[in-house]
Amino acid sequence: MKNELKKLEKAALAALEQVKSSADLDAYHTKYLGRKGELTGLLRGLKDLSPEDKKTFGKATNELKIELEGKFKMKQNEFEHAEISKSLKDEWIDLSAPGTTTKRGHIHPLYQVQEEVERIFQQMGFSVVDGPEIESEYYNFEGLNIPADHPARDMQDTFFIDKKADKDEGRLVLRTHTSPNQIRAMKKYGVPLRIIVPGRVFRNEATDASHEHTFDQVEGLMIDKDISIAHLKGVMLEFLQRLFKKEMKIRFRPGYFPFVEPGLELDMSCIFCDGKGCKVCKKTGWIEFMGCGMTHPHVLRAGGIDPDEYQGWAFGFGLTRLVMMRYGIDDIRHLTSGDLRFAEQF
Ligand code: DAH
């Protein structure tokens, strides 16, 4: 009996060593520890022994049973752990990993500023209106009191389209400024009028860092009874202070534009040095901002408005220039390049 126990122990331990899978382990259990297994066989045989031997071998067989079951359990645990860690590895999700984001576009810097400009003027009771980029010579020039011999009418400055405009409005042109919308708006909406017209304009320019054939302007127009330059000053100072979010100064200088009389240039205190004088304002403390003036009676008449009853003012500034100055953009061509490395900086 003693020998049989020793043999069984040796065989069982050696067999356990050979177990490589959980299927092997099941087979092992059936063979040695199962109901019909070898150890159970030995235990059954105990009943035929003398009471003395029963006691000794009973104890030894039980000890062997405890040993083998213990080792079997350990092996079983090993397999279970291996399975769990494999499935953990397969299903592992790193919750701290950054998500994959969808690439989203954003508004171009030019139109971010345009929206700001629109909002400020809307807050002051101005409407934002639009007009055609392909204009007639009449609206772009004559209606605005720009005579046929004005240098702006030169082929060098204007893109002419090889086609006549409707009615008696001359040829078609790409608008060289947003000013034609002064007349369009007067005709369409009548008086009183408070509008701004942001939009693209086109000039036949040789392109360089500060000239482009396509750029953006904002036109403004206010017409009512008893309107003066004081209103223009008030509106523009308020506008600039809201735009740059600081106290500003403005000043007027005489300027010539055929569609205003008197014609003015508006300068603003330099936003970089607050008027102290720096590189940007060339030590003057002032930056040229726009052309403006009291709307010329010819222009009011072209818009169907009686200049003896109504008067108003108009202005036009370069949105492109404003954006360049604000962000220190040194080459106008960046703005229309479509280069994302540029646009994504804003
Ligand atoms: N249209 C002018 C330009 O493109 C700018 C301008 C000047 C507009 C004076 C105005 C104005 O309304 O009153 O240079």
Q: How far apart are CA 319 and CA 192, in angstroms?
A: 25
Residue 8 confidence (pLDDT) above 90: no
In this structure, of 63-77, 127-141, 211-225, 280-294, the range with the lowest mean pLDDT score is 63-77
Q: Say if residue 128 is in the same domain as residue 64.
A: no
Which of 15-19, 152-156, 274-278 is modeled with the greatest confidence?
Answer: 274-278
Ligand 1 mean position, distance from CA 259 (Å): 8
Return the pLDDT at 345. Answer: 93
pLDDT tens for 306-338 read 999 999 999 999 999 999 999 999 999 999 999
Number of folded domains in the chain?
Answer: 2
Return the pLDDT at 155. Answer: 67
Q: How far apart are CA 130 and CA 119, in angstroms?
A: 15
* Helix (H/G/I), strand (E/B), else coil: 132: coil
Residue 107 confidence (pLDDT) above 90: yes
pLDDT tens for 219-268 read 999 999 999 999 999 999 999 999 999 999 999 999 999 999 999 999 99
285: its two tokens: 């403390």
Ligand 1 mean position, distance from CA 71 (Å): 96
Q: Say if residue 41 is in the same domain as residue 129.
A: no
143: its two tokens: 């209606």
**Confidence band, pLDDT 50/70/90 cuts, at residue 284:** very high
Mean pLDDT of 90-110: 90
Q: Say if residue 199 is in the same domain as residue 288.
A: yes
For the chain, the first-to-last Cα distance in angstroms comes to 91
Q: Between the CA atoms of 269, 272, 273 and 279, what dihedral angle is there, to the nearest 10 degrees? A: -100
Give the percent of the chain with pLDDT over 70.
Answer: 99
State the number of CA atoms in the 13 A half-sphere of 258 facing the CB: 17
Evaluate whether residue 152 is within a structural domain: no
Task: Select from 194, 257, 300 the residue to mutate for testing ligand 1; criterion: most ligand atoms less than 8 Å from CB.
Answer: 257
Angle formed at CA 324 by CA 326 and CA 289, multiple of 5 degrees = 75
Range of the domain at 84: 2-89
57: its two tokens: 């071998």
102 C-beta neighbours (distance < 10 Å), count: 5
Q: Say if residue 50 is in the same domain as residue 188.
A: no
**What amino acid is encoded at 190 in this protein?**
G
Return the pLDDT at 139. Answer: 97
pLDDT tens for 139-193 read 999 999 998 888 767 766 899 999 999 888 999 999 999 999 999 999 999 999 9
Evaluate whether residue 173 is within a structural domain: no
Q: Say if residue 113 is in the same domain as residue 215.
A: yes
Return the pLDDT at 154. Answer: 73
CB contact set of 21 (below 8 Å; sequence gap of 6+): 79
Ligand 1 mean position, distance from CA 233 (Å): 16
Q: How much of the chain is helix, strand and coil, in % rounded to 5?
A: 45, 20, 35
* Helix (H/G/I), strand (E/B), else coil: 316: strand
CATH at 312: 3.30.930.10
Evaluate whether residue 140 is within a structural domain: no
Q: Which uninterrupted H or E stretch holds 156? A: none
Return the pLDDT at 217. Answer: 98
Return the pLDDT at 190. Answer: 97
Evaluate whether residue 336 is within a structural domain: yes
Task: For residue 259, give the ligand 1 atom closest to its CA.
Answer: 13
Task: For residue 177, give the ligand 1 atom closest to its CA.
Answer: 4
Task: For residue 176, give the ligand 1 atom closest to its CA.
Answer: 4
Angle formed at CA 176 by CA 173 and CA 179, multiple of 5 degrees = 110
Ligand 1 mean position, distance from CA 130 (Å): 16
Of 35, 59, 89, the residue that ends a domain is: 89
Residue 1 confidence (pLDDT) above 80: no
In this structure, of 70-84, 120-134, 187-201, the range with the lowest mean pLDDT score is 70-84
298 C-beta neighbours (distance < 10 Å), count: 16
Evaluate whether residue 159 is within a structural domain: no
Q: Say if residue 118 is in the same domain as residue 82.
A: no
DSSP letter, residue 211: B
Ligand 1 mean position, distance from CA 264 (Å): 10
Q: Which uninterrupted H or E stretch holds 189? A: helix 180-189
Mean pLDDT of the chain: 93
295: nearest Cα among 249, 228, 342: 228
59: its two tokens: 């104890």
Q: Between the CA atoms of 105, 110, 115 and 118, what dihedral angle is there, to the nearest 10 degrees? A: -160
Q: Say if residue 321 is in the same domain as residue 202.
A: yes
Q: Residues 245-250: contacts with CB within 8 Å, 24+ apart?
A: 246/271, 246/274, 249/275, 250/289
User: Which residues have CB under 6 Å of ligand 1?
Assistant: 177, 179, 219, 257, 260, 291-293, 314-316
Q: How far apart are CA 286 and CA 159, in angstroms?
A: 33
**What amino acid is encoded at 196 in this protein?**
I
CB contact set of 36 (below 8 Å; sequence gap of 6+): 30
Return the pLDDT at 258. Answer: 94
Residue 126 CA, chain-centre distance (Å), reads 28
Ligand 1 mean position, distance from CA 321 (Å): 14
